[in-house]
């Protein structure tokens, strides 16, 4: 249950969305609303989503965040979080990300699952996800917390759409049956230097577990993942800060590469 009023939720949604749209930092909202609950936090995120849709933006996908056990224990949280991807978050493969539109962006190497049947929790497991997956493809997420110095707690980050800001997808698509998802290797380079390496198992032990968890978390709100959903599963590598002028390239075992540049 929530502790915030409807008008407080609307005010906080406006506060956080304006910080995203105009690229300025704010302090974490739990400082001012220590009694807010997880339900309140998700209500704020869904209100931001509603505001975007009302303005004519399309929601083009979903993303999971804090999906490594290490990251969860580091943050002192017991479960990951999700966010939505709006149409203008999308950057073409090989394209340019405008650094000035963001606050303190970092990039993460991820995978995306595209589904062919709906998934509705509770009770969704890895098998359901693999059966429902049309194909898997590489993706890079640009995260950009609206909170000062990237400092937040789980409730604050959920309300802030889980730091979502931009994403790039491309490379090659593949059937799940053709991939060893747990052992799939990833190498991230910035300006030609290797900065991070990782494997699929970094995401909740298996990338499909992330999609299952998303379906179950959405199910708690009576929502489902419709057929044709594009779901980014969370970071396979640690997030790396990027500066204006940086070029990046992520190489995926069996799935090609994705690249781009911050300008």
- Quote the domain boundaries for residue 235: 59-262
3-state secondary structure of 231: strand
The answer as to whether 64 is a domain residue is yes
The answer as to whether 199 is a domain residue is yes
If one counts every other C-beta atom within 10 angstroms of the C-beta of residue 1, the result is 6
The answer as to whether 11 is a domain residue is no
Map tokens 């698509």 to a residue.
173
Whichever domain contains 252, its CATH number is 3.90.850.10
Q: How far apart are CA 77 and CA 73, in angstroms?
A: 6
Query: Which phi and psi (to 5°) does residue 137 adopt?
Result: -145, 160
Task: State residue 73's pLDDT score.
Answer: 76
The answer as to whether 17 is a domain residue is no
The answer as to whether 106 is a domain residue is yes
Residuewise pLDDT in 10s, the chain (263 residues) = 899 999 999 999 999 999 999 999 999 999 999 999 999 999 999 999 999 999 999 999 999 999 987 777 767 777 899 999 999 999 999 999 999 999 999 999 999 999 999 999 999 999 999 999 999 999 999 999 999 988 888 999 999 999 999 999 999 999 999 999 999 999 999 999 999 999 999 999 999 999 999 999 999 999 999 999 999 999 999 899 999 999 999 999 999 999 999 99
Helix axes 38-54, 6-22, angle to 10 degrees: 60
The pair of three-digit structure tokens given for residue 262, joined into one six-digit string = 């911050």
The answer as to whether 50 is a domain residue is no
Q: Are 151 and 131 a contacting pair, CB within 8 Å?
A: no
Task: State residue 100's pLDDT score.
Answer: 97
Task: State residue 192's pLDDT score.
Answer: 97
If one counts the domains in the chain, the total is 1
The answer as to whether 22 is a domain residue is no
Global pTM?
A: 0.96
The answer as to whether 18 is a domain residue is no
The pair of three-digit structure tokens given for residue 232, joined into one six-digit string = 């980014």
């Amino acid at each position: 249950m929530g502790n915030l009023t409807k008008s407080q939720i609307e005010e906080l949604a406006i506060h956080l969305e304006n910080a995203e749209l105009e690229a300025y930092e704010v302090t974490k909202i739990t400082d001012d609303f220590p009694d807010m609950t997880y339900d309140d936090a998700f209500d704020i995120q869904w209100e931001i989503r509603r505001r975007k849709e009302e303005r004519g933006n399309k929601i083009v996908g979903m993303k999971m965040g804090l999906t490594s056990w290490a990251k969860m224990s580091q943050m002192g949280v017991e479960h990951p979080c999700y966010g939505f991807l709006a149409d203008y978050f999308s950057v073409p493969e090989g394209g340019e990300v405008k650094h000035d539109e963001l606050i303190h962006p970092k990039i993460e190497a991820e995978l995306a699952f595209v589904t062919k049947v709906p998934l509705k929790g509770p009770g969704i497991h890895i098998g359901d996800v693999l059966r429902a997956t049309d194909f898997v493809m590489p993706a890079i997420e640009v995260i950009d917390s609206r909170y000062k110095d990237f400092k937040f707690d789980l409730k604050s980050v959920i309300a802030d759409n889980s730091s979502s800001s931009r994403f790039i997808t491309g490379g090659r698509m593949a059937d799940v049956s053709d991939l060893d998802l747990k052992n799939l290797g990833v190498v991230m380079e910035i300006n030609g230097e290797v900065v991070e390496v990782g494997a699929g198992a970094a995401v909740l032990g298996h990338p499909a577990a992330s999609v299952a968890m998303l379906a179950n978390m959405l199910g708690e709100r009576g929502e489902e993942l419709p057929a044709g959903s594009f779901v980014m599963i969370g970071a396979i590598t640690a997030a790396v800060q990027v500066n204006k002028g940086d070029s990046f390239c992520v190489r995926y075992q069996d799935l090609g590469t994705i690249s781009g540049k911050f300008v």
